[in-house]
Amino acid sequence: MAMNQNNPVVWFEIYVQDMERAKKFYEAVLAIRLEKMPAPTSEFGDMEMWAFPSDKETSPTTYGACGMLVKMAGYPSGGSGTLVYFGCNDCAVEAARVIENGGSIVREKFSIGEHGFIALASDTEGNTIGFHSM
């Protein structure tokens, strides 16, 4: 059986309670601008969506978002079992911005060996997110 070389992860959603607060947090921490997206159909009329910047020329079926399965003590599956990592030049920079913008640090920048460094944080909505840098 031939292995599929396409990355199967093509989309993520981070759910929020206060859109303005969350939008301000992510734009400040990641130094980006989110783009307002319309609801997919009229049945989702009360849905508010803001998209992270992306390269619309890159096919999500060949690139996608990087990810993996992880088993780690203290992080059970279910509920908060999915963790989104944002790529950075130095994850300590974005982690410092988390505190400045109303979030909290779960774990300061630490080495993951040859794979670089990560930092874990909690956003203003209680979601755990990660930052990765080489």
Could you tell me what percent of the chain has a pLDDT over 70? 72
The yes-or-no verdict on residue 20 having pLDDT over 80 is: yes
Q: Where are the domains positioned within the chain? A: 19-133
What was the pLDDT predicted at 74? 67
Concatenating the DSSP letter of every residue in the chain gives -PPP-S----------S-HHHHHHHHHHHHT---EEE--SSGGGTT--EEEPP--TTS-TTTS---------TT--SSSS---EEEE-S-HHHHHHHHHHTT-EEEEEEEE-GGG-EEEEEE-TTS-EEEEEE-
**Chain segment 26-75, per-residue pLDDT in tens:** 999 999 898 888 877 677 667 788 888 876 666 555 555 756 566 656 66
Q: What is the CATH number of domain 19-133?
A: 3.10.180.10
